[in-house]
Amino acid sequence: MLLGRVVGTVVSTHKSAKIEGLKFLLLDMIQPATMEGQGKYVVAMDGVGAGTGEIVFYTSGSCGRYTEATLGRPADATIIAIVDTIEIGGKPTYVKNPVIEDAK
């Protein structure tokens, strides 16, 4: 699976009936060590209710058809998880809801 940041949505009213009722999100692929976008974009089908700004990972190819939202549909990129934390070498490079220490 590949990591991406949800940077927007893609709306299409004139589309295949097979993909009716699905939300399409615009993902910028990220480099997890720096969390920077790489300027490579993917339109992914939303399988988990992800929102703009969130870090997600998506499954590609025919595996994209195996979520409830995309079963039997022509989905080749489906978001299957919203990331809470990414840790590299024991250090977090991303924390979704960082706990803010009270000012003492």
Partner 1 sequence: MILGKIVGTVVCTQRADNVEGARFMLVEKCDQHGTTTGEFHVALDQVGAGPGEVIFMSNGSPNRQTERTFDKPIDASILGIVDMIDESGKVVYSKEQG
Binding site for partner 1 (CB under 8 A): 1-3, 31-33, 47-49, 57, 59-70, 78-90, 93
CA distance 78 to 1: 10
Could you tell me the smallest distance in angstroms from the CB atom of residue 102 to partner 1? 24
* CA neighbor of 44 nearest in space, from 87, 93, 88, 67: 67
Of the pair 13, 83, the CB lying nearest partner 1 is at 83
> Nearer to partner 1 by C-beta: 26 or 69?
69
Give the amino acid at 78: T
- In angstroms, give the least distance from the CB of 104 to partner 1: 29
CB neighbour list of residue 17: distance below 8 Å, 6 or more residues apart: none
